[in-house]
Amino acid sequence: MTVMLLGVGGTIFTAVVLAAGSFKLMVAAGLPRHGLLRTSLALGSVLSCTDSVAALQLLHKDKERVPLLYSLLFGEGVVNDATAIVLLGAITNLPNGSDEEDNLNPGALGRLALRFSRLFALSTALGLGVGLMSAIIVRWFLRRPGGTGVGPRAAHTTAPCRAQPHNSPFRPNPDMEVLAVALLGLLAYFLAEALELSAVLSVFFCGIAMSHYTWHNLVPAAKMITRHGFHVISAGCEVVLLVAAGLDVWATSAWW
């Protein structure tokens, strides 16, 4: 609840303040009023997107001592980015108004709030739905009788499992479980993109649902692969992104 309050409420408040200030400055500068509402709202939504990477890096070594603060910063950063993206998408989809209608009037703000609520709710529902579907698939379709780590209680036990014959069709299959987790996470992303929703928000809530439900139904081998494998992929993507951003100074043609 705290993460949602800070990530959603704080982002919307910051975007409104920045949009109102930029609107007043543009009007004072004598810019044409046609499209000014859209421009100011888009500018406010973009500038409301903060970067919490530096703060997370400072707390990375001490996250075991302050886990609540680290979790709040991480969750707020993700929700903040997703909320800013949803806001920007809602603003860009607003119809163009005439000079008289292109003002900060209740009708324009109402349409924007309605579109934002729709995008936010549908993106959240899509992510949670795919995450819960992954738990059902892993538990009832990939989970085999006699497998290891069934349910939340078995996730914390260290007792060895009963060995299954090599030709038994009921052996646990960690490869398929890892593949299901990865593909269903991608499914949440691509479905959100296809439906013109927020892919970041859908993946975020899909990951929350997977961590609460799907994770406890994975066998120990699949848990280890997903934990360390996705961390390796994430670190590799960050390195590639940082190298590409650094090369942009010398090779601007690579981006065009």
Domain identity same for 43 and 126 = no
Per residue in 216-243, pLDDT (tens digit) is 888 888 888 888 988 899 888 888 888 8
pLDDT at 186: 92
Residue 219 forms part of a structural domain: yes
Determine the structural domain holding residue 225 and report its residue range.
122-155+170-256
Single-letter residue type at 62:
D
Number of domains in the chain: 2
Per residue in 100-115, pLDDT (tens digit) is 444 556 676 777 788 8
Domain identity same for 243 and 131 = yes
Residues of the chain under the 50 pLDDT cut: 98-102, 146-170
Closest CA to 215 of 172, 163, 178, 186: 178
pLDDT at 104: 54
pLDDT at 188: 92
pLDDT at 97: 55
Q: Burial of 161 by CB count in 10 Å (0-12 exposed, 13-18 middle, 19+ buried)?
A: middle
Q: Which residue has the tokens 């914390």?
A: 156
DSSP string, 15-74: HHHHHHHHHHHHHHTT--STTHHHHHHHHHHHHT----HHHHHHHSTTTTTSHHHHHHHH
**Rounded distance, CA 19 to CA 244, Å?**
32
pLDDT at 151: 41
Single-letter residue type at 9:
G
**Rounded distance, CA 105 to CA 107, Å?**
5
Residue 71 forms part of a structural domain: yes
Domain identity same for 78 and 150 = no
pLDDT at 16: 87
Domain identity same for 98 and 5 = yes
Residue 18 forms part of a structural domain: yes
pTM listed for this prediction? 0.68
Measure the CA dihedral 211/62/83/237, to 10°: -70
pLDDT at 10: 85
Domain identity same for 131 and 89 = no
Domain identity same for 95 and 183 = no
